[in-house]
Each structure stands twice: as structure tokens, then as C-alpha cells.
């Protein structure tokens, strides 16, 4: 059954208490921070065990790790990629030993999510992040161009190395879409940007562990019928980011959860209908009065509104 989680940073913060006050006890976490390493690597067993214990001591169950070892050489097919892939294999093996069932990763080379404005005015004086392709900085990357087929080739190599380890560990690897789902950006191809490409992903190396992070903010820019595509992918969805936007892949802004282009109630019904058995977390919330925009999209108070909105949808749909 669908359950609500929240991204809880590995270092305790006010969000730890706020999430619990909002009724959330499932954590989507990062890799162990420096104070938990004791000379080891973040993907080693002992630091991951300490991380899990830290969350448990704070009242949370760690159910997803949404952070990655360095992977740019693997994505670009550069010398040293096998060493990077080995760190992923170690991470997955140790997650399996600790009973952490989902690893969220992505295939965006050189840079991750891109925004061109971190304080776009929104409802009632709140601010949100936004993107306009015409405003992307020229210095976003200093790497040479790479085309989409090269990225597919390197992803195929990666999956063939990693999925047997994931299967043995019992850990689902869950591909997050490109953000924005636009290609190329400053000469860098992006492949996880369309419904057809996600179908290609799950067929590329078939495995029950080869799954999808359904980040609604990106997927709703790929389709005119997101609930239908949730039903299309069904059991291949292992993790959900519940958020919304308005606009197009080349020019959009984040929205409040109740003010975007997507029928969020219909999406919740679609998760129920496919028997989604995993966690859903809010993502990219507005920054509101009295809160800081230092970590744009992840301010504390905006998350409370998102959790409450999602909890209301969840109760309405699953009670019917």
C-alpha cells in the first residue's frame, strides 16, 4: 500500500521534528555524512548501519536512499567507470543487508536538476523555482558535448553490471527523470525525458529491480495524461515524488501542490488502482512567509502544507 514519506537529511534538523508532528515516520535519506564515516566510505556497511540507526533513534524508518556515489565517468563512459560502478554495487549489497529496499538514481551527466530562477513569485508572496531554456548559463558545464545514444550505450553497460547485484541484494534501483526533461542542454544530451524513453529503459535490461521513480513534476511535462501513464508503468514504479508544475519543458515554474496543471486526485487514484506498494514523498515546495529560501524547493514550512494536502488526498482515495 502507498505510504507517505519525507526527505529527511542525514544530519538532524528541524524538519525531523516537523515531519513527525505531521505524522510522517518514513524517511527518504541521503548517504552517511562525514560524522558517521570513521574513515570508511559512505557506501560501506558500517556507516550505512550507523545512518539507519540514527534515523531509527529519531523515530524514522529508512526506506529509500536518494543519493549517489560519483557516477559521471560511468555516465560518460570514461576511464575509471568500473571503479565508480563498483561503489554502486557495494552500496546496493549493503543496503540489502540492512533491509533498505530502494535506491533512487539518475542519468544526468555533468549537472543535475537545473533552474534559472530560485525565487519566482507565487501565491500570496511565496516563491518557487522556475526554468527558462533561454536563460541557462553558458558556464553550466565545462565538459564536451555528449549525444543521447552515447548515454544509452553507457547506461546499458551500467545496468548489466549493477542489476545482477541489485537482484541478489533485493534492492530496487529506481531511475529519476531528467529535470527538466529537455535535451540537449548546453550540448549535453539527456535521455530520461519522455514516456517512450522510460519504456526503453525498462526493456533495455529486463529485471524486476529495474524500476522507475515517478517524479510527477517531470513526468507531467512529458505527457498530457499522467494518470494514464501511471497505469501504463504500473508495478515498474517503485518510488514517487509528488509535486506539480505549469508550463513546458523549456519554460516552466514549480507550483503549490494544489495549483499546477496536473489532476493530483486522479494521480492518487491511479496509484491505488495499480496497487502501488511503496512510498511517496512531497517534492519541491514553495518557500513561504517566515521561512528561508536558502535551500530553494525544500524549505521546512512549505513541506507541512504538502504533507497535509497529500494526506488528505490519500485518505479520501484509499477510504473509498
Asked if 105 is an active-site residue, the reply is: no
Active-site residue, from 104, 154, 241, 271: 241
The burial class, CB within 10 Å (0-12 / 13-18 / 19+), for 204 is middle
Asked if 241 is an active-site residue, the reply is: yes
State whether the Cα torsion 287-291-297-300 is positive or negative: negative
Active-site residue, from 44, 45, 147, 298: 298
Asked if 257 is an active-site residue, the reply is: no
**Kind plus residue range of the DSSP H or E element containing 227:** helix 226-233
Concatenated DSSP letters of 229-240: HHHHHGGGEEEE
Cα three-residue angle 8-128-141, rounded to 5 degrees: 80
Asked if 215 is an active-site residue, the reply is: yes
Three cell numbers at 82?
Answer: 568500473
Active-site residue, from 215, 244, 271, 314: 215
Asked if 284 is an active-site residue, the reply is: yes
Active-site residue, from 55, 104, 105, 176: 176
Active-site residue, from 55, 179, 257, 284: 284
Orientation of helix 195-204 relative to helix 148-169, angle to 10°: 50
Q: Residue 232 and residue 65: Cα distance in Å, rounded?
A: 25
Catalytically annotated residues:
176, 215, 241, 283-284, 298
Amino acid at each position: 500500500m502507498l505510504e507517505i514519506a519525507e526527505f529527511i537529511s542525514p544530519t538532524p534538523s528541524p524538519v525531523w521534528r516537523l515531519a513527525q508532528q505531521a505524522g510522517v515516520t518514513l524517511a527518504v535519506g541521503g548517504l552517511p555524512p562525514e560524522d558517521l564515516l570513521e574513515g570508511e566510505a559512505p557506501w560501506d556497511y558500517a556507516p550505512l548501519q550507523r545512518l539507519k540507526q540514527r534515523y531509527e533513534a529519531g523515530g524514522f524508518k529508512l526506506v529509500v536512499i536518494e543519493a549517489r556515489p560519483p557516477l559521471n565517468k560511468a555516465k560518460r563512459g570514461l576511464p575509471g567507470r568500473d571503479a565508480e560502478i563498483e561503489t554502486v554495487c557495494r552500496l546496493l549489497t549493503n543496503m540489502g543487508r540492512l533491509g533498505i529496499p530502494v535506491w533512487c538514481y539518475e542519468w544526468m551527466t555533468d549537472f543535475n536538476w537545473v533552474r534559472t530562477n530560485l525565487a519566482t513569485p507565487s501565491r500570496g508572496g511565496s516563491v518557487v523555482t522556475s526554468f527558462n531554456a533561454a536563460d541557462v548559463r553558458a558556464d553550466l558545464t565545462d565538459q564536451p558535448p555528449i549525444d543521447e545514444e552515447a548515454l544509452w550505450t553507457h547506461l546499458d553497460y551500467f545496468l548489466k553490471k549493477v542489476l545482477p547485484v541489485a537482484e541478489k541484494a533485493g534492492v530496487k534501483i529506481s531511475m529519476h527523470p531528467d529535470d527538466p526533461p529537455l535535451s540537449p542542454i548546453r550540448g549535453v544530451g539527456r535521455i530520461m525525458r519522455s514516456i517512450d524513453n522510460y519504456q526503453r529503459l525498462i526493456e533495455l535490461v529486463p529485471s524486476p529491480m529495474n524500476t522507475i521513480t515517478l517524479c510527477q513534476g517531470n513526468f507531467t511535462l512529458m505527457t498530457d495524461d499522467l494518470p494514464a501513464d501511471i497505469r501504463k508503468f504500473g508495478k515498474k514504479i517503485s518510488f514517487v515524488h509528488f509535486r506539480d508544475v505549469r508550463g513546458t519543458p523549456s519554460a516552466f515554474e514549480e507550483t503549490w501542490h494544489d495549483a499546477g496543471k496536473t489532476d493530483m486526485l486522479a494521480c492518487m487514484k491511479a496509484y491505488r488502482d495499480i496497487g502501488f506498494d511503496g512510498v511517496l514523498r512531497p517534492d519541491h515546495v514553495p518557500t513561504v512567509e517566515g521561512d528561508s529560501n536558502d535551500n530553494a524547493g525544500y524549505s521546512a514550512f512549505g513541506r507541512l502544507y504538502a504533507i497535509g494536502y497529500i494526506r488528505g488526498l490519500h485518505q479520501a482515495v484509499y477510504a473509498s
